[in-house]
């Protein structure tokens, strides 16, 4: 799947200056898409992300800053991207988490997590999808989580936001299901629900569980409680699923949530 089947389409990936989002942006770039990068970071980190996307094959890549907690900033970002190149592929990847018991969860943390993880996706979808429908092709891929399918303690706002984005995606999928055609590719909306994914953020947790063993020993110890495969996914694995969902052959794959969780939700 290394062909440039997305040329000359445009993709917006939120939270794409690092981690899973950057891997997705690079994957879409390798398929020929122009990439709108959105995410936080120092100027140096943002420049490094843009260069990584260029190196992956993007003919054009730009950073669009927006605080995703603010609907007005999202509207401005979407208008700026539309003026540059209308969005054909929208990947809502940005997300935050704060893990404490329900009774101890700060109200502002609840508000911020729901705003970034759920409301921002609603705003980007409502602004991008009419244009997709008019052109007969569009792909919305919402990066939910295994916690959009099952719950864990101490993650009330995160779980609520991820269950919410799964429901939001189903509604949007139904509303746009008859848009376009098999030849044009149609407009689809799906979720990807990762379990444990290897990113820089979890390296300290892996190291803490090595107990003198190898890194793989640390990974197995970390994921053993939830993920029967005893191995994590890589960000590139998530990107590969996004790419497949963008293909024209996936025109009838919509309203679905795909766990990439090593059997977590099969239990």
Backbone angles phi, psi at 32, to 5 degrees: 100, 0
| Cβ-contact 62, 25 below 8 angstroms | no
User: Is position 137 annotated as part of the catalytic site?
Assistant: no
Neighbouring CB atoms inside 10 A of 208's CB total 11
Residue pointed to by tokens 């420049």: 47
From 87, 128, 140, 158, the catalytic residue: 158
**51 CB-near residues (< 8 Å, 6+ apart):** none
E-state strands within 48-178? 61-63, 89-92, 137-143
> To which H or E segment does residue 189 belong?
strand 186-194
Cα separation, 167 vs 158, in Å, equals 14
E-state strands within 51-159? 61-63, 89-92, 137-143
- Closest by CA to 227, choosing from 258, 192, 197, is 197
Region at 57 (left for phi over 0; alpha for psi -120 to 50; beta for the rest): left
- From first CA to last CA, the distance across the chain in angstroms is 31
Cα separation, 8 vs 58, in Å, equals 10
CA-only gyration radius of the chain, Å: 18
Cis amide bond preceding 8, omega within 30: yes
- Point out the residues that are catalytic: 158
């Amino acid at each position: 799947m290394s062909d440039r089947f997305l040329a000359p389409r445009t993709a917006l990936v939120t939270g794409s200056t690092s981690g899973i989002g950057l891997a997705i942006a690079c994957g879409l770039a390798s398929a020929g898409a122009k990439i709108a990068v959105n995410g936080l970071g120092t100027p140096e980190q943002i420049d490094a992300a843009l260069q990584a996307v260029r190196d992956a094959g993007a003919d054009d890549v730009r950073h669009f800053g927006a605080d995703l907690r603010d609907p007005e900033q999202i509207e401005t970002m979407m208008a700026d991207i539309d003026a540059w190149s209308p969005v054909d592929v929208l990947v809502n990847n940005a997300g935050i988490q704060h893990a404490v018991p329900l009774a101890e969860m700060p109200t502002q943390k609840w508000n911020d997590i729901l705003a970034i993880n759920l409301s921002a996706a609603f705003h980007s979808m409502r602004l991008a999808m009419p244009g997709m429908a008019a052109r007969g092709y569009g792909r919305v891929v919402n990066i939910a989580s295994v916690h959009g399918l099952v719950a864990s303690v101490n993650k009330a706002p995160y779980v609520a936001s991820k269950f919410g984005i799964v429901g939001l995606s189903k509604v949007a999928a139904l509303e746009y299901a008859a848009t376009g055609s098999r030849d044009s590719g149609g407009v689809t909306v799906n979720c990807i629900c990762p379990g444990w994914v290897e990113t820089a953020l979890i390296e300290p947790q892996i190291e803490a569980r090595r107990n003198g063993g190898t890194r793989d020993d640390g990974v197995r110890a970390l994921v053993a409680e939830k993920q029967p495969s005893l191995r994590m996914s890589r960000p590139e694995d998530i990107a590969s699923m996004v790419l497949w969902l963008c293909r024209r052959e996936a025109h009838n794959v919509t309203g679905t949530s795909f766990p990439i969780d090593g059997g977590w939700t099969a239990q």
